[in-house]
A and B are shown apart, each in its own frame.
Chain A
Amino acid sequence: MTLLTVKNLSKTFDTGRGPIHAVRDVSLSAGEGECLAIVGESGSGKTTFANMLLGLLAATSGEIIFDGKPLQPRRSARDRQAIQLVQQNPLSSLNPKRTIGASVRLVLDTHRIGDRANRWKTVERALEAVGIPGDMRTRAPSSLSGGQRQRVGIARALACHPRLLVLDEPTSALDVLVQARILRLLNQLREDRGLAYIFITHDLAVVRNIADRVAVFQSGKLVELGTTEQIFSYPQDGYTRSLIGAVPVVDENELALRNKLAVTP
């Protein structure tokens, strides 16, 4: 079942020095429970695209259809609840003056989820679901490690039971051992809850191991879209090949694959 369909979506910013076409005529879709990766360099329009999905930016033209209905420029509370965001840097996305529990609770209060008396219990369960002990809810973000903070970011996004999670570089600020655990957690949550992910990243090695399909953005345009298998076996676009060619690799098998894919057929 298709959960999200994007039709001819564009975003143009008018600046003093003329218009900037951040996203140009992008059409794609994501199924229920699917992980669609969006890759591209900085300035390729990945984050602008995500902001339009989240309703934080109005599209210049085009349409976003979610769960069979076109999303309106002013989102209903229900639509806002259904699409949630996990940001790159959990230290700056969590309010430093709130306890982590209060940050998660704010989502429940905003969306009026469950009755008030039980909300702290719900907060604790939400934290436990991402591997943070419930009694840590009174801690401040500053007393947590980077990986724990990102877990809180995920718990907060999941607290209002979204169906689609937009993950904007969720692991690029983390160490590799921590990244491995967070990626496993994301995989498991997706499986357990039937979530769909829009996974924005520039790290193709992460994409290879987590995504079902990959969309490659270059200067606001969608230049290639395919299953992860296809992209990493027969990349069609020259830009996709150059991105794969730039990935730093650690073992011989990877090196062989990179050398094979990076050359123009």
Chain B
Amino acid sequence: MTPLLAINSLTLAFKNLFQHTPVLHGISLSIAKGEKVALVGESGSGKSVTARIILGLLQETATAEIGGEVWFEGRDINAMRKAERAALRGTDMSMIFQDPTSSLNPTYTIRSQFVEVLRRRTADLSRGDCDERMISLLEEVRIPDPLRVLEAYPFQLSGGMNQRVMIAMALANRPKLLLADEPGTALDVSVQAQTLSLMHHLVDNHQTAVLFISHNLGVMREFADRVYVIYRGRIVEYGSTGSLFAGPLHPYTQALMAAVPRITGSGLPDLPEISDTFLAPPVSHGGTL
């Protein structure tokens, strides 16, 4: 079976008159239909730019130099025309960002932003049909009073509520791929846990594939089927969540895992922030890239 998304030796560099800054050094990863895949790395490792390339956003940036292939349902996103890429966003793929309150427009009500999302897929959707869809979608993300929420502005809702609205919008057009960039990081731990379990449940129900981007190993462990670890623009280790967490093999993954404080109180190990060993060749726990 061909994967839903297959990235082959993707490279990215930002250039200006004086500098050429490589960001991604040929990363490859794949996501099967309905699979939940995590991309873990520290800040600056290249995880967010990868998501932006998949969404076809970075291709519009003049200073970005992109190489390699990004196959989505048998079509290469890098080779598409601008309008084709735009047509995919919000329909076959959608994204949830880190901070829900800043990714919703504060000057429009939830209703008008939501209608815009629904009409991306079906341009002539009537008002009544929109209402019906929106209410059932908001109920699906367990928003208690959907009619009140639809009339509200984002700043009148809590962060957790906004995040659920974002999830409802992102899943509204039944996308095949959901990109989640650190969802919940801006929320409290208990709200984050609720939001993640809700998202987990919904994507399983809808058979939506997810690329989950995060720096939080604990969150990944609970959410993902497979994990890719990225360090300085290179995939250093990948495999099933179970085997990667049970026995990390790459020096970088091992350091990352050891650095996470444990609630069992195992102390604070003495680890280097950077090390040459972190650039060792990638390690696989079996399976394809």
Contacts and interface: CB of A to CB of B under 8 A. Distances in A.
A180 interface: yes
Contact of A249 (B188, B263, B273): B263
Interface stretch (B27-35, B105-113, B167-175, B212-220): B212-220
Nearest to A146: B43
Contacts of B219: 248
A152 to B, nearest CB: 16
Interface string A235-265: 0000000111111111101100110000000
B198 to A, nearest CB: 14
A176 B245 CA distance: 16
7 contacts: A41-B190, A181-B271, A202-B188, A206-B261, A209-B266, A248-B219, A249-B221
A151 to B, nearest CB: 11
Interface of B: 42-43, 159, 188-193, 215-219, 221-222, 245, 255-257, 259-273
Given A177-B42, A178-B273, A251 B259 contact: no
Interface in A221-235: 228, 232
Most buried by A among B260, B261, B262, B272: B261
Contacts of B188: 41-42, 202
A116 B189 CA distance: 47
Contacts of B191: 41
A247 B261 CA distance: 11
B262 A251 contact: yes
B218 A243 contact: no
Nearest to B219: A248
A41 B159 CA distance: 12
Contacts of B159: 42
B215 A253 contact: no
A228 B263 CA distance: 10
Contacts of B265: 208-209, 228, 232
A209 B269 CA distance: 11
Contacts of B216: 248
A153 to B, nearest CB: 17
Given A41-B190, A178-B273, A250 B268 contact: no
A179 B259 contact: yes
Contacts of A26: none
Interface of A: 41-42, 146-147, 175-181, 183-184, 187, 202-206, 208-210, 228, 232, 242-251, 253-254, 257-258
Given A180-B271, A209-B268, A248-B221, A243 B261 contact: no
A210 B270 CA distance: 14
A250 B260 contact: yes
A228 B190 CA distance: 20
Contact of A209 (B218, B262, B273): B262
Contacts of A184: 268, 270
Given A180-B259, A204-B263, 14 more contacts: A42-B159, A175-B43, A176-B215, A176-B260, A181-B271, A183-B268, A184-B270, A202-B188, A208-B263, A228-B265, A249-B221, A249-B262, A250-B260, A254-B264
Q: Closest 10 CB pairs between A and B?
A: A248-B218, A175-B42, A205-B261, A246-B193, A41-B188, A180-B259, A246-B190, A246-B189, A176-B259, A208-B265
A232 B263 CA distance: 8
Contacts of A208: 261-265
A15 B141 CA distance: 32
A218 B218 CA distance: 24
A244 B190 CA distance: 9
A247 B259 contact: no
A49 B2 CA distance: 56
Contacts of B189: 41, 202-204, 243, 246-248
A249 B261 contact: no
B237 to A, nearest CB: 15
Contact of B255 (A177, A179, A250, A258): A177
Contact of A250 (B42, B190, B245, B272): B245
B121 to A, nearest CB: 34
B218 A250 contact: yes
Contacts of B222: 248
Contacts of B43: 146, 175
A210 to B, nearest CB: 8
A253 B270 CA distance: 21
A71 to B, nearest CB: 31
Nearest to B269: A180
Contact of B217 (A209, A243, A244, A250): A250
